[in-house]
Amino acid sequence: MILYPSFFVFLTIVFILLWLFIKTIDDRKWLSILVSLLLTPVVYFYLFYPLLNIFSSYHHEKYFNETAWKEKPALRYEMSNQIIENNLFIDKTKKEVKEALGSSEWFGWDDSLKVNSSEKWNYNLGFKPGAFNEQQECLELIFKNDMVIEVKQYQMDKSFD
């Protein structure tokens, strides 16, 4: 487990809150501190930390890997930041993109043509973890003259039937 400064800050907050609560039950300081020290890890790891993970939108990030992209489509959102930030597919041909990502899952809408365009390839990235996340992450690659000119990520409302 990697210990970050935020871990110690949150652990200290939990300890202080427990100590203040236990102090209302018993006035003996040594007992309040002892019980607080013993209960702090339990409260932190079984109450505070799970709630923090449910309500925060943090998720793991991974480097782009062609095999993982194809085998685990529900976890593609973990690789999307690297794809966008490092411009992995800018100036790649349709053939190169198809080899790396597979066939496009759907074509994007082109307002100028009023039709789905084969120049806008879309891929489903899955759902980021979170308690109230109902939005599906998607990746769109826009081509011009058979070369990728733009890669963008967007969210799409997903309704469950």
pLDDT digits (tens, 9 = 90+) for 60-114: 788 888 898 888 888 888 888 888 899 889 999 999 999 988 888 898 887 777 7
CB 138, CB 156: distance < 8 Å: yes
46 with 75, same domain? no
What mean pLDDT comes out for the span 51-62?
Answer: 74
Distance CA 76, CA 4 (A): 27
Token pair, residue 150, equals 């733009």
Higher pLDDT, 161 or 64: 64
Q: Does residue 87 fall inside a structural domain?
A: yes
76 with 149, same domain? yes
CATH number of 136's domain: 3.30.1450.10
**Confidence (pTM):** 0.65
Q: Tell me which residue range forms the domain holding 29.
A: 5-55
